[in-house]
Structure 1
């Protein structure tokens, strides 16, 4: 094998190894404790903001809080929910799902903190649009321009050469060919035109599409999973028990051919969980900064539900479907394993694979939209608004060409840069921890006072 490929593989294994995972989960654990388990205590309040803010017009911003959340979800709900979960369970056994839950629990606190900071330190670009994210709270809050630029460079790399283009375009082209025998060239033309139509309109266009497509595609996939789980209802209690016991005892995955110990279950579960919901990587804050809101804490609460929807709900649905159908013990891996699970669960060699293919196509398309916006924000920070149009045209070329590129080395580079995004962002969260705690404490004190006054008035 190519020595450079081996070197990149080694770097990738290190970047996504224990040091980064410990930093990600450790930051989430620290924030969870400092914020008094905000993601558990105030989840009902956060969910109420999600739906009440759907038509919110208060505060400054470009799109509603709900639309900003959907834009962030469009980038996170993707192939990781179908392929990533299957990969984690194949490698680490059913117990990996438990560790995905744990990563998501702490990740909700991280997502809350980074999106709070995004709104607090956001700015307005020369086009009059809200702009924010780790670049801005690293520069304005931490006072470090070089860390801010480092994050922007890494995130731009992910948008152009990683999650935002090649894997998603490949997934759509492959799914369309396998399910509908659609020629790859035709799929690429349709995909490129659709992406151009949406993304050239900016955040308002992307958010408008995301707020319509994301809830529909998530509901479609959840209903498909519930259909399988209902048909296998008798096996569900045993499946949940297996997930929990395997998390602490280890389990032989892949039909016993790969020994999956506890550490393997932990590492694969946490890594894929973080990869799926992106808590701590710094991507979601760029969407959160565009929200119309009068409170950075409110937007932080709204944004943290993204991790709840992504991992606690959708990844759990996929994981339990794989376990109850026994697909995790098959010889299949990745998307093929999930397809096999649906085919056997629905007892249909047609409808099962079709559901997975349609889900993959929608998930991949919206991921392209979300990451297109993230790349735009990074380009604006680095080069100004004049660079937005050239970036968008270049992005479209990458989407079109990416459908025919299958270069492991490029994906390894993208994976490395994706992990590196998290480092400056987490440094920012740790250094600005007192700001996060102070803003949170002040908000809930005012909320408590307001509720008391309302009771007295009533």
Structure 2
């Protein structure tokens, strides 16, 4: 079964999906007039709360939506995902993660603008957003089959199994093994059950509680992680420019790991970027669709900050730590353990504990937010009255993730993400002209407002 999952994941992440995500994203970058660059300053003002409207429809503020989306993206994708990218594709994979992030900013702008433009209502009459509603409300009922495909893949793929797996590994290696308390598989079961109970305390309170916890945790955990990373990089400052050059060189040579297989390095970079920042997958539009705003473009501008913070900033810093400490040459590919080695080498004695705490907070915050995504997919398919049943399924799978091998877990999540990307990107490309018109009208209004 594990081999079949791995084969399916490798097959679906082929050229067609790469063209759809990277090519589609590049088209949106051009079509929106390079919105990630010209709209960045305005997006920062919006995040600062300058335009918040407390009377607008929705469940959470735009800042809470961004925090919740970042809680799901700035997480183990930045710690384990980057390590996996370097382990499997060499440092050159990081360059292709950068490329994916810049086109991903345009993709996220379009998809999250659409999430507000085409909000729908669930069976209880509550306003909802996300690709499934964008497809049904924006493209019409005849395209509903795409919404169903998205939601089925979302229910299966938006589980916290990867986070559970990697957090279990770190707890075993850093805490339990030195104390002689690691009994192998039984330990994994115990950790999995404890994680399940912790996550249950938050997610059973709904999106308001998830957003409240995420908006407090995210700034704190990112700051703490940055401090550790900057200390390591400062100690190895002379090597940083050389490592950045090597990332670019390796992106086009592929010699480090795969003997010239540049195409494979691009695929690895795109896969890890998709897992890291989720641009084009369709998850962020679900949480941004719940924002208290009546301005679709404004929400899109906020959303596009996600890939920038996540991939351009956080992933690059993690990659540099792995490279300047030299641990990437060891051949270790088990995700978080490679980053753990880098932190221990960069900050002897305390590095592993700093990373343990970061992983703990990153993993738990991601687990909280992912439950909301799957809950919305379940709600769409089976109705609001039955949606809460999904939470119990979600909680049980946390234990499953803790006791399953990393390769199978990662391949399963990758495969489901790929399936979700097709409906999301098809709807975004189909409705891009609507976003372009809305963007033009919005900036005209803002220009007139500033003159008054």
Q: Tell whether 2:176 aligns with 1:176.
A: no
Aligned residue in 1 for 2:343: 342
Q: Tell whether 2:370 aligns with 1:371.
A: yes
Q: Tell whether 2:33 aligns with 1:33.
A: no
Q: Which moved more, 1:295-304 or 1:441-450?
A: 441-450
Cα pair 1:232 1:324 within 8 Å, conserved: yes
Aligned residue in 2 for 1:110: 107
Cα pair 2:189 2:403 within 8 Å, conserved: no
Please give the per-residue CA displacement for 1:260-296, whole angstroms capped at 9, x wherever unaligned: 5433332222221122101000011000011111200
Q: Structure 1 5/397 Cα, relative in aligned 2: closer, same or farther at 3 Å? A: closer
Q: Distance in 1 between matches of 2:82 and 2:293?
A: 34
Find the residue that maps to 1:442 and give its secondary structure: helix
Find the residue that maps to 2:259 and give its secondary structure: strand
Aligned residue in 2 for 1:399: 398
Alignment of 1:10-409 (within 5 A): 10-52=7-49, 57-125=54-122, 129-143=126-140, 144-159=143-158, 164-181=159-176, 184=188, 187-253=191-257, 258-333=258-333, 334-346=335-347, 348=348, 350-406=349-405
Find the residue that maps to 1:297 and give its secondary structure: helix
Please give the per-residue CA displacement for 1:50-76, whole angstroms capped at 9, x wherever unaligned: 232697625211111011111111222
Q: Distance in 2 between matches of 1:200 and 1:129?
A: 18
Uncovered stretches (5+) of structure 2, i.e. residues with no partner: 182-186
Please give the per-residue CA displacement for 1:229-275, whole angstroms capped at 9, x wherever unaligned: 1111111111122222222343323xxxx425433332222221122
Find the residue that maps to 2:304 and give its secondary structure: helix
Q: Compute the displacement of 1:386 (Å).
A: 0.9
Aligned residue in 2 for 1:419: 418
Q: Compute the displacement of 1:308 (Å).
A: 0.8
Q: Distance in 2 between matches of 1:52 and 1:149?
A: 35
Cα pair 1:75 1:371 within 8 Å, conserved: yes
Cα pair 1:92 1:251 within 8 Å, conserved: no
Find the residue that maps to 1:291 and give its secondary structure: coil
Q: Distance in 1 between matches of 2:436 and 2:237?
A: 43
Aligned residue in 1 for 2:184: none
Task: Provide TM-score, normalisation by structure 1.
Answer: 0.90
Q: Compute the displacement of 1:113 (Å).
A: 0.5
Q: Distance in 1 between matches of 2:79 and 2:107?
A: 23
Please give the per-residue CA displacement for 1:305-357, whole angstroms capped at 9, x wherever unaligned: 011111011101111112222222223222222112112222x0x32222222
Q: Structure 1 307/446 Cα, relative in aligned 2: closer, same or farther at 3 Å? A: same
Q: CA RMSD in A?
A: 2.1
Q: Which moved more, 1:7-16 or 1:179-188?
A: 179-188
Q: Distance in 2 between matches of 1:9 and 1:400?
A: 21
Q: Distance in 1 between matches of 2:311 and 2:116?
A: 24
Q: Compute the displacement of 1:147 (Å).
A: 1.1
Q: Distance in 2 between matches of 1:444 and 1:50?
A: 17
Q: Structure 1 206/250 Cα, relative in aligned 2: closer, same or farther at 3 Å? A: same
Find the residue that maps to 1:293 and give its secondary structure: coil
Q: Compute the displacement of 1:403 (Å).
A: 2.5
Cα pair 2:129 2:285 within 8 Å, conserved: yes
Cα pair 2:149 2:419 within 8 Å, conserved: no
Task: Provide TM-score, normalisation by structure 2.
Answer: 0.92
Find the residue that maps to 1:252 and give its secondary structure: helix
